[in-house]
Structure 1
């Protein structure tokens, strides 16, 4: 298991596999781990800088990076569950 995989698992467990923004319960594969302070701005992979988000909430935090494929997904919905739309 890589260091990131272990860090991700610890964040998901700490947050109860639940989006910290909208409280949606998530599976491991449907959860995003978000950097509160982006790495590009000096943020780290420390647990205190990471939170669990659903796809919709994660896209809302990155409106300029979300792209058309993530646009329009409400909180709690997974991209994988909506690819057939």
Structure 2
């Protein structure tokens, strides 16, 4: 499995992902009013994940740090790993 090169996520894509996810952490449910949110790769680039909008999710900084470069088990059924 090859590591996918990291690219900067364009502002328009970041905005779309935040809106799609209703400005809410997809792991713990906290909103932008409660915490700082970030964009994260569901399947990490280091594990072959892509820079595709379907592989992006909104996470709060705490959940993003906990996830690290692991794959969230809730998404395993949606992706062939």
Band of TM-score, shorter chain: 0.5 to 0.7
Q: Which runs of 5+ in 1 are unaligned?
A: 64-85
**Does the alignment pair 1:54 with 2:60?**
yes
1:16-35 alignment runs, 5 A limit = 16-26=22-32, 30-35=36-41
Q: Report the TM-score when normalising by structure 2.
A: 0.64
Q: Which runs of 5+ in 2 are unaligned?
A: 1-7, 70-81
CA distance 1:20–1:3, shift in 2 (3 Å): closer
The structure, 1 or 2, with the larger RCO (C-alpha pairs under 8 Å, 6+ apart) is 2
RMSD: 2.3
2-structure distance, mates of 1:47, 1:61: 19
Q: Which structure 1 residue ranges, 4+ long, deviate > 4 Å from structure 2?
A: none
Residue in 1 that maps onto 2:50? 44
Q: Deviations over 1:1-27 (max 9, x none)?
A: x86211111100000000011110116
